[in-house]
Amino acid sequence: IPAAGHIAGLYGRTDGRRGVWKVAAGIEASITGAVGLDFQVLDRDQDRMNPHGLNALRTIPGAGRVVWGGRTGRPTTEWRYINVRRTAMFLRKSIFNGIQWAVFEGNDERLWAALRATIGAFMDAQFRNGAFAGATSREAYFVKCDADTTTPDDQAAGIVNVSVGFAPLRPAEFVIVTLSQMTRR
């Protein structure tokens, strides 16, 4: 049986227990319901697979059948790891859905401050849940929404821009997500 359904279930299980930011790999990433694998992946095989973003299914003594790797096919970018990409997608969608109220607001400094506060509260909750690296919120994320992100031309067009950075792996090493929202002109 192809493993796709098992892996989707593993992602759902990991998301529910630990959050999208937790890599679904390692000894905690057991493949529920799998009774065997077609072939055994050895350490030397894994060493050749990892740089290419190929995540092996392995039998590990004491852990059973597990996913042993959490990489994407983009080895030299900020999107090297699946959990980083999934966290960025989660943040973008959650923030976008959470700022729909901005459509009915004037595009000015008052709106920008409200967006920073709303998004900052959401990001702080994610930080407290363990989503980001860093000992302080300043090391873990930032929210920027001001005259630098939203130009006078953007304002005239009814567009507000927000830049959100998060540190998925190391403190103060940010992956940046940019969002745009229509506003009342």
Residue 47 belongs to a domain? yes
Q: Could you tell me if 56 and 106 lie in one domain?
A: no
Q: What confidence tens digit (pLDDT) does each residue in 149-167 have?
A: 999 999 999 999 999 999 9
Q: Could you tell me if 42 and 130 lie in one domain?
A: no
> Structurally, how many domains does the chain consist of?
2
Q: Are 115 and 108 contacting, i.e. CB atoms less than 8 angstroms apart?
A: no
Among candidate residues 42, 68, 94, the one where a domain is terminated: 68
Residue 76 belongs to a domain? no
Q: What confidence tens digit (pLDDT) does each residue in 3-40 have?
A: 889 999 999 999 999 999 999 999 999 998 888 899 89
The 3-state DSSP class for residue 173 equals coil
> What pLDDT score was predicted for residue 74?
85
Domain range for 144 is 82-182
Q: Which residues contact 174 (CB under 8 A, 6 or more apart)?
A: 141, 142, 165, 166, 167
Residue 75 belongs to a domain? no
pTM metric for this prediction: 0.91
Distance CA 2, CA 152 (A): 53
Residue 74 belongs to a domain? no
